Structure 1
Amino acid sequence: MKAEQIQAAARKALISAEPLYYSWPPERQEQLRASMEGKLQQKVDRVLLQELFGIDRPTEMVEDICKGLSTANKNSLNWARLLTCGIGRDWLFLNELMTEGTSLLDFDTLYDYDYQDYLYQQEFKKAQFPDYQGQNYYPMQHPLWLRLLIHEQFYYATLSSLAGYLVDQIEDKSDDWIQRLIPHEYVDGKDQGKQQADGFLLDFQVRANGLEKHLEELKQRWWQYTQRRWLELSRQFCDTPAAVHCKDRHEKDEQHRQFIFTNQRTLQALRWGHFLTDCKAIQADLSTVIELENQELTKAERWLKDTHQDIMDNFDPKVVKLKKKMKIVVAPGALDGLMGEDGDE
């Protein structure tokens, strides 16, 4: 769909949300866009569906209609949505949950946002796990998802610390590595799909030809390795120069850019309102990241092989480790977008 059509639809949607929108100063317009949510967002989405695809449905049906769009149409809708809720020069929309009454405008830099999220996570862990000792701050243990305009084109983006990116790469390979070491499959357990008051049970059982306990031990040690490796890499990169590395991936119906940040100083140098400009000022060549990635992949695969051999030689599956049994209940609609190719980002 052409950019002009998307821009025209967004203009009509904003006027439907606030008839005086285009008479307001830019700062007030941005405040409205940043606070776009709930019923106001549904009202905007209804206009966008009408203007982009000729779909006219009651407001209460809008959410379900949006979920059923094709990937190409959903990308066009997300582009138009971005023009109704994005902030800053690059029309950023952070696809993350925020506390009520908070928007991206409350944070000047990426560091401001990430550090507050770190404080929240620390408090949450202390409340959930009384023995939790806390952890020093290091940037972005987990990636953030962003939407923005780059050269007037709609992009999805992932924001990662360098340490987090490297650990994500080895985790992406780990299933295949572990499968080769201990072949296994997952089958439905006896409670799979059983209805509960607030959803249904998710119950899968693993079969590994008698090596189920060995597999469990290997996965547990692997998880510990990735946690430890993230911490080691985060410390390693603390004193490196502030830098942003960019990695593009273009597919048939969408464009994606990964932004990789070396350390805390990098996040402190990047303002949400001037994101791309600030990134460009400290952008570095991706080859450094590729070299580090190859090193980490080699190291991690070797560690897994050595650990697997140690488990096969020395692990006693008859020793039962005490652990809390968990029951996973999936709420209706929670898996929407994860089960097919037309899912939203």
Structure 2
Amino acid sequence: MAVRHLISLEDLTDAELRSVVARGAEFSAGTAGTGTVGAGTGGADRPLAGAITGIYFRKTSTRTRTAFSSGALRLGGQIIGYGPDDLQLNTGETTEDTGQVFSRMLDILVARTAGETAELRGWADQERMSVVNAMSADEHPTQGLTDLTTLLRHFGRIDGLRVLYVGEGNNTAAALALGLTRYQGVELELRTPPGFGLAADILDKARARAALSGSRLTERHDMDDIPADQDAIYTSRWQTTGTSKADPLWREKFAPFQVTAALWESSPKAAFLHDLPAHRGEEVTAEVLDGPASIAFDQAANKMYSAMAVLEWCHRGKREAGTR
């Protein structure tokens, strides 16, 4: 199939996943053969030259929307931005008809629906336009690629890393689990509040991946007996974009899962990651987020470089097949 889509990390082969992550790290390091750091300036360094990317966000976004917009421009492409009230979907046009129109005018569509992925897969059911999931309710695949890129840049490897994730088993945690378990010897420890763990299907898929790669994934719903010597400690905000919690006592359940400096007593060399935006005093203390262990804002910067790798990978499929 000439057109490449990224709806879930499960859509990528192991080789494709590693390739996109490595390419993102190259862009981040400024070693991707481009004229400026992470940005093409001409010729072969502008792989999106002549390509048009639609950026469609129904929900708020700072990092992902900016990353894909800036990334497409840096790679020589052009962008069209759509907000939640810009399309005729609001006047009754079907999502199927909207997708048909998009696919006849755009080369790549980057979309954040914050709903289920069925709509995105419907838009991807054609061979003209690539579709990239910029966050759905069940998975945030481009965040997962950003996290892997950040770990690769910081540690020089992903294989064998020990990662502790603390907080809700949300779409960020889902992507982290589906991505990290592809790498050999990784130990991923998830500590999620009772009733707010990873979805059963995501957990099953990640465990199946871990069994193939020789990695280990553990999920518990308490903060007792945290394993020592973690390489990275990761959290996400407690109120995921576009969602709400039906349980009126959810804050009481989440309170023990705050990331504090105490976690570094047994893992003094651990790096701190956060997908942002952060709420200091809720999921993480200011001491941690703004402290020397934090690489959260480097992680945010890598969102653009990872986006560039995704855009290049998507469009390369069309160019290699001669479909453009």
TM-score normalised to structure 2 length: 0.25
Higher relative contact order (CA 8 A, sep 6+): 2
Report which of the two has the higher share of helix: 1
Give the TM-score normalised by structure 1.
0.24
Larger radius of gyration: 1
